[in-house]
Structure 1
């Protein structure tokens, strides 16, 4: 039941994001607006909803499948990128680097200290 409740929470924030973007005609993805609303809600509550955590954990193994439609969609508009490959490659390189850097910083910031110590001990021979 927690899983279903969590999916309903996630879907509710996605629909709320969709409604806000459409009403205010914002130049933002509907899903991204929903995720930002979810983030604001979680920050306001100052704790993670157990149902949302359960649903999120179930979605992590499916992440590649969730990204695939956007990647496939690029092949249908590839002609529009004709003279812009340098800018695209630079954006991908900088974006990937910043994404990895942000993930590393967040992991070090929020990982419990005992877990971080255990990882350090495993790396040392």
Structure 2
């Protein structure tokens, strides 16, 4: 039941993001607006809802599959990229680096100290 409740919370924020983008004509994807609203809600509450955490953990293994439609979509507009490969490659490399760096910094900031120490000890063995 906790998993279903978490998915409903995530779906509600996605729908709120969709409504906000449509009503305010924002130049942001509906899903991203929903995630930003979820982030704002979590920052205001100052604690993570257990059902949202459960649903989020269930989605992590599916992350590559969730990204795949965008990657496949590039195949259909490949002709529009002609002459822009340098900029595209630079954006991909810099974007990937910044994404990994941001993830590392957030993980180090919010990961409990004892879990981080255990993880470091496991790697040394």
> What TM-score comes out, normalization by structure 2 length?
0.95
Structure 1 residue ranges without an equivalent (≥5): none
Q: Distance between the aligned counterparts of 1:30 and 1:9, measured in 2?
A: 15
Q: Deviations over 1:15-53 (max 9, x none)?
A: 110011011111100000000000000000000001111
Cα offset, 1:118, TM superposition: 1.7
| Structure 2 match to 1:58 | 58
Structure 1 vs Structure 2 CA RMSD: 1.0
| Structure 1 match to 2:85 | 85
Runs of 4+ in 1 over 6 A off after TM superposition: none
Cα offset, 1:73, TM superposition: 0.5
Cα offset, 1:122, TM superposition: 2.6
Aligned partner of residue 48 in structure 1, secondary structure: coil
| Structure 1 match to 2:42 | 42
| Structure 2 match to 1:28 | 28
Q: Distance between the aligned counterparts of 1:114 and 1:108, measured in 2?
A: 12
1:81-120 residue pairs with structure 2 within 5 A? 81-120=81-120
Structure 2 residue ranges without an equivalent (≥5): none
Q: Deviations over 1:84-123 (max 9, x none)?
A: 0000000001011111111111111111111222222233
